[in-house]
Chain A
Amino acid sequence: MKEYDIIIIGGGVVGCMTARFLSQYQLDILLIEKEADIGSATSSANSAVMHAGYDALPGTLKAKTNAISSPLWDQISRELGFDFSRCGDYVVAVSDEQLETLQKLKQQGIDNGIKEISLITAKQMREHEPMISENVTGALYVPSGGILDTFAVTVAAAENAVMNGVDLLLETPFLDFTMDGKKIVGVHTPKGDFKGRWVINAAGLYADEVMHKANVQPEFYIRPRRGEYVILDKVDYNLSRQTVLFPTPTDKGKGILVASTLHGNTLIGPNSNFVETKNDKTFTKEGFDEIWEGALKLIPNLNRRHIIASFSGLRAHGNAPCLTPGVDYISDFIIEIAEGVEGLINLAGIESPGLTSSPGIALMVIDLLKEAGESLTPKANWNPIRPARPVFRHLSTVERKALVDKDPHYGRVICRCETVTEGEILAEIHAPIPATTYDAIKRRTWTGTGRCQGGFDMPRVVKILSDELNLPPEKITKKGSDSPFLYRRTKDLEKVES
């Protein structure tokens, strides 16, 4: 049986980005993910903001990884072929008191190494976004902030890792470690045991449970903190320019933002409420009221008739203290070689700015491995480039014509609202990491995300998946086992329940 050098638990953005960066070395790597697709949990439902790095307290790992990562995204997005826009962000004050907070935030940004960060007047803010609340008193403007496509980042990183030899197993939950005394020698899963010299715990919401299996950090806990969001129809509503608008932060957190998405929509959210279970992604009426009220404080002309989607995500909020002397902060990231066992690296409590920080976290993992004596010999044939696949709606007329002439499947529109073609869907089903569920197709191609929310495309996508995967339609799922769309054929009397 193959012995891996490294087994990564968790195919979220942290696990996938770590796999991608480690794939440049002569290492045998296995990435295991419990869901039917990578990036299905926290990485699929967040603000998709590339944080400039002024939020986190100086000295924390949150601040450190954010500072390392923020400058890297231009290069990473080019290499991995996903969209990224450094559109800048604003923290908006609507009272004189809040202006004082912005002063402090500006200083914190400077301390964290941000070079361009400035306070602007209410008038300047209004020039940037004329629809801003008339109560605006000023804003903090940071041109290096930006927006990402959280789905695309995770998929592209994982795909590049797989292209460079990383093995990926989906629907493979971690159950336990296999140990040799104090030494971790592998992991136990329903798909069998896998041997590995190192295990990297990137299990997101479950990272505490994973480390507890090795009797590591029993005092560390993750409490899921839910954030709820709505999306507005891009045909009906747009901010004046692509941007991110934060309110002035409070003790409760960064607050409800109003931001552009790279898909052209407007995103509103999140609130921040603890929930009991790690899969409680309920969207609530109260939550909606909370985020809507918050958003109206920034942009008063929002209309709830323009809402086309609502969702919620869970943050992996941990209770780890910051280890930097003199920094009094709880709920920092954990990025460490675990003590008390051999062969475990913990990447835990990764909440915001986790998406932004993921490349920096990966680089820190490389350093940790080197410190632990791993030689990490570069691969001669490592390819950092993951070519982007055609996105029909982004192409010019000439490009569209050429694409359809080359492959007629790009001439068949499956998702009418977002203009996603059959060619794009087929490309994902046959990608290095095949998309095998409706949600995987949705996140990768943007099918079903528009104003009809899949009403038109869903039966068509199920049919395409069924044809391509050579499975009966009843076996096609929304997001893996236990989520079928269909139960039986009509007139199938044997299966009718009495």
Chain B
Amino acid sequence: MKKNFDVIIIGSGPGGLAAAINAKKHGAADVLIIERDLELGGILLQCIHNGFGVEIFNKDMPGPSYAQHFIEESLGLGVQIMLDTMVLDITADLKVTAISKHTGLIDLQARAIVLAMGCRERTRSQILLPGTRPAGVYTAGTAQRWVNIEGYMPGKRFVILGSGDIGMIMARRLMLEGAKVERVLEIMPYLTGLTRNYVQCLMDYDITLQKSRTVKNILGVNRVEGIETVAVDEKWNHIKGSEEIIPCDTLLLSVGLIPENELSKKVCVALDPITGGPIVDDRFMTSVPGIFAAGNVVHVYDLVDWVTEAGFVAGRGAALYAQRSAEEKVSKIPLKAGEAIRYVVPQFINPDSLRTETIRLQMRVSTPIEERVRLTVEDDQNNVLAKKAEPYARPGEIITMEVKQDAFDAVQKAAFLKVNVSKR
């Protein structure tokens, strides 16, 4: 079996597939995707709802169809794959240790690696949800796998905690399968998922969303028997007297996604404490030379299309890195999040990139601003290098900005760049 590859990609979700395709297109001869599941496509395979591809294909597709497009393209380009295989370790000298039933334990050598492990769901313990530990408390994604992949219903009457997109999409899916969705609860005073999902998944199905409300207790010893809910103030303190017990047999959690970086930590890739993902430059290279990161492993995107686009960038970067003749000397400019900006990706930019292309920045604000806002990218002298106006800014919706090629001179001279948001 072949042991040496130009680019090894860990994960075959939209980020990994795009990285593989673009690595091939940019001259990497041997490109390998390692996927732990039985098929390529990652979580897209269980996302049988539509809403994918609008940005890239100008077409509204279900997840598996969207994935299939990139699966076929990558296979057509000669990308090699290992399925049902788990990567156990990676090293700074770009060795990959993986294991499967079919191959046993194997060591591979890459010239560049793309981390595309995606993200995982926050669990009940991570939000310190009180109560007993009966069957019937699942993350929305686990329930989605059961319903859409395995073909089983994990409950009859549901309460969903969290107005994240997966939770709302599952609410609709469960209704279509004949279950009852009693309530969607959101601890924040605002929706955390996309507005379109609220309209299409909750409003259209008469599912009640209660904001500023959370789970006070999970009832039941063997299986969930009910959920006690409570209203909260802006500091999430429970408001006495507002309790309500909702009889149900299942609690689904849609309370946030966390980039999956256990492998990254093993190889000491520097992580951003806010995003939970690697600190990357505009080519999506991490702090470890030759290790790139693509998609939700970096920060959690709103749209799969953007994950794909990030994967293209990372795959190109990895291919070029794998083919480089000598160590290139680069000076990277830090990109900081200003006040009211929660985070911005990338965290560093190579001014050289601006010689040939614009650089895309993606960011989230810290709290909702429900009026017209102005976003700017400024240098350390407060010179505005890029700007954008938005009708509003919400934490649940990523804002994309571009730094254009004409900013090259200013960026090159800057000690750092900073993204700011202000009301207009």
Instruction: Say whether A455 contacts B152, CB under 8 Å.
Output: no
- Cross-chain pair count, CB within 8 angstroms: 154
- Residue-wise interface mask of A (211-228) relative to B, using a CB-CB cutoff of 8 A (1 in contact, 0 not): 000000000000000000
Cβ-based interface call for B222 (8 A): yes
Q: Which residues of chain B are near A408, meaning CB under 8 Å?
A: 101-102, 104
Contact of A283 among B102, B131, B179, B223 (CB under 8 A): B131
Instruction: Say whether A490 contacts B154, CB under 8 Å.
Output: no
* Cα distance, A412 to B128, chains bound together (Å): 31
Instruction: Say whether B177 contacts A455, CB under 8 Å.
Output: no
Instruction: Say whether A452 contacts B120, CB under 8 Å.
Output: yes
Cβ-based interface call for A482 (8 A): yes
Cβ-based interface call for A90 (8 A): no
- Residue-wise interface mask of A (386-430) relative to B, using a CB-CB cutoff of 8 A (1 in contact, 0 not): 000000000001001100110011011100110100100000000
Cβ-based interface call for B243 (8 A): no
- Considering only residues 308-333 of chain A, those with a C-beta below 8 Å from chain B are 308-311
Instruction: Say whether A288 contacts B103, CB under 8 Å.
Output: no
Query: Which one of A280, A283, A489, A490 has the highest number of Cβ atoms from chain B below 10 Å of its Cβ?
Result: A490
Contacts A452-B120, A452-B121 given; does A411 touch B103 at CB 8 Å: yes
* Cα distance, A492 to B179, chains bound together (Å): 11
Instruction: Say whether B146 contacts A486, CB under 8 Å.
Output: yes
- Residue-wise interface mask of B (123-141) relative to A, using a CB-CB cutoff of 8 A (1 in contact, 0 not): 1111010111111101101
* Cα distance, A280 to B217, chains bound together (Å): 12
- Considering only residues 439-454 of chain A, those with a C-beta below 8 Å from chain B are 451-454
Instruction: Say whether B223 contacts A417, CB under 8 Å.
Output: no
Q: Which residues of chain B are near A497, meaning CB under 8 Å?
A: 156, 178, 180
Instruction: Say whether A309 contacts B154, CB under 8 Å.
Output: no
- Residue-wise interface mask of A (468-485) relative to B, using a CB-CB cutoff of 8 A (1 in contact, 0 not): 000001100111111111
Instruction: Say whether A463 contacts B100, CB under 8 Å.
Output: no
Cβ-based interface call for A135 (8 A): no
Cβ-based interface call for A103 (8 A): no
* Cα distance, A404 to B97, chains bound together (Å): 14
A422 to chain B, nearest CB (A): 8
* Cα distance, A397 to B106, chains bound together (Å): 10
Please tell me the number of chain B residues within 8 Å of chain A, measured between CB atoms.
53
Cβ-based interface call for B418 (8 A): no
Q: Which residues of chain A are near B153, meaning CB under 8 Å?
A: 486-490, 492
Please tell me the number of chain A residues within 8 Å of chain B, measured between CB atoms.
63
* Cα distance, A279 to B121, chains bound together (Å): 29
Q: Which residues of chain A are near B177, meaning CB under 8 Å?
A: 490-491, 496
- Residue-wise interface mask of A (224-243) relative to B, using a CB-CB cutoff of 8 A (1 in contact, 0 not): 00000011000100000000
A405 to chain B, nearest CB (A): 6
* Cα distance, A235 to B124, chains bound together (Å): 19
Cβ-based interface call for A253 (8 A): no
A468 to chain B, nearest CB (A): 16
Contact of A412 among B101, B130, B133, B249 (CB under 8 A): B101
Contacts A473-B152, A487-B155 given; does A411 touch B120 at CB 8 Å: no
Cβ-based interface call for B142 (8 A): yes
Cβ-based interface call for A458 (8 A): yes
* Cα distance, A411 to B103, chains bound together (Å): 8
Q: Which residues of chain A are near B403, meaning CB under 8 Å?
A: none
Cβ-based interface call for B239 (8 A): no
Instruction: Say whether B223 contacts A483, CB under 8 Å.
Output: yes
Instruction: Say whether B134 contacts A455, CB under 8 Å.
Output: no
Instruction: Say whether B120 contacts A459, CB under 8 Å.
Output: no
Q: Which residues of chain A are near B154, meaning CB under 8 Å?
A: 485-487
Instruction: Say whether B104 contacts A404, CB under 8 Å.
Output: yes
Cβ-based interface call for B262 (8 A): yes
Query: Which one of A405, A455, A492 has the highest number of Cβ atoms from chain B below 10 Å of its Cβ?
Result: A455
Contact of B99 among A231, A284, A400, A417 (CB under 8 A): A400
* Cα distance, A413 to B262, chains bound together (Å): 15
- Residue-wise interface mask of B (70-110) relative to A, using a CB-CB cutoff of 8 A (1 in contact, 0 not): 00000000000000101010000000010111111100000
Q: Which residues of chain A are near B101, meaning CB under 8 Å?
A: 404, 408-409, 411-412, 422
Question: Which residue numbers of B lie inside 8 Å of A, CB to CB?
Answer: 36, 84, 86, 88, 97, 99-105, 120-121, 123-126, 128, 130-136, 138-139, 141-142, 145-147, 149-156, 177-180, 217, 221-223, 238, 249, 262, 265
Question: Which residue numbers of A lie inside 8 Å of B, CB to CB?
Answer: 230-231, 235, 279-285, 288, 304-305, 307-311, 397, 400-401, 404-405, 408-409, 411-413, 416-417, 419, 422, 438, 451-456, 458-459, 463, 473-474, 477-493, 496-497
